[in-house]
């Protein structure tokens, strides 16, 4: 984790062996680790009580349920209102 953060913040090349490659040519293993790292970083940016537990990181449906639960106030939104000022409408 430390290495990834340093590389990202300083915009260092990830590794000298990758210097001549475009990101689309990176080995799939390295791409996987980068995406995984970004996923974990995004969880760590959340307040502690909203971070999903590690046990569900690889379970998309449980993750979705988790985020629905921790980011909702318990009620489902059933209608939207779009404030429109009539005098501002172009005719």
Partner 1 sequence: MSKIAKLFRWHKKVEIKEGDKVLDTVYVRLVGDAEFQEAKNLSLTRSKALRIKLRNPETDEYKASFSDLETLTRDELLMGITFGEIADYRDEALLQMPEKEIPPLPDSPSLEEQENYEEMVRARQMERAESLTKYIEKRADERKAELSKIEDIGKLREMYTHSIINLKCSEEFTKSFREYQIYKGTFKDAKFQELAFDSFEEYSQCSSRLKDMLLTAYVSLELTGEELKN
Contacting residue, 9, 19, 54, 83, with partner 1 by CB under 8 A: 54
88 binds partner 1 (CB under 8 A): no
Quote the least distance from Cβ 29 to partner 1, whole Å: 6
Quote the least distance from Cβ 63 to partner 1, whole Å: 13
Question: Can you give 28-54 as a three-state secondary structure string?
Answer: HHHHHHHHHHHHHHHHHCCCHHHCCCH
Per-residue binder mask for partner 1 (CB under 8 A), 30-49, x = binder: xxxx--x-------------
Helix (H) or strand (E) holding 65: helix 60-70
């Amino acid at each position: 984790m430390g290495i990834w953060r340093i590389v990202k913040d300083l915009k260092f090349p990830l590794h000298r062996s990758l210097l001549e490659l475009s990101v689309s040519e990176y080995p799939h293993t390295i791409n996987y680790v980068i995406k995984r790292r970004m996923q974990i970083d995004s969880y760590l940016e959340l307040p502690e009580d909203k971070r999903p537990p590690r046990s569900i990181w690889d379970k998309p449906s449980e993750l979705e349920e988790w985020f629905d639960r921790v980011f909702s106030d318990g009620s489902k939104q059933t209608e939207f209102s779009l404030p429109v000022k009539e005098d501002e409408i172009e005719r």
